[in-house]
Amino acid sequence: MAVPTIAVGDKVPPGTFSYIPYTPEQDDALVCGIPTTITTTDFFAGKKVVLVSVPGAFTPTCHVNHLPPFLEKYDEFKSKGVDIVGVLAANDAFVMSGWGRVEGLKDKILALSDGNAEWSKALGLSVDLSNIGFGLRTARYAIILDDLVVKYLGVEPGRGVTVSGAEAVLEAL
């Protein structure tokens, strides 16, 4: 289990994510897209952001139970003033883009790569899953940022999705 070093009221440290912006051409599974980088400082400053972090794209809990409700409730997030919804994992940008396409995220939810779980590690929210061959990963958590300040932090205490799920995050907004 991850032990956060960040808390509600703290400003998040700078972070850089690899990201492949959705384009309609990517509806063709053979189109990969071109990775770009975004930073917390440039992309999230002045905005209300919901980030949901998962240990891995295409893994059972993440793929079936964690991410889909965020897409299903996307309009509710937007109606509560959320500017950006993103899903974060240590998978590379190509895997995140592929997962986003399979999940049907299109341009609604950003599929962000926290390479080597560096940003999550800076928050105290990385987990070592080497015992199952996954290496260092992002923990399962959700965070609400308002102009880079943590307004909500839901870190899962064990298996499953509770405090980092779409319903819990919507209630915190």
Amino acid letter for position 72: E
Q: Which residues contact 101 (CB under 8 A, 6 or more apart)?
A: 22, 26, 27, 29
Q: How far is the CA of 129 from the CAs of 5, 71, 112, 132, in angstroms?
A: 19, 27, 20, 6
DSSP string for 67-96: HHHHHHTHHHHHHTT--EEEEEESS-HHHH
Is 32 part of the annotated catalytic residue set?
Answer: no
- Give me the catalytic one of 57, 62, 89, 105: 62
Active site residues: 62
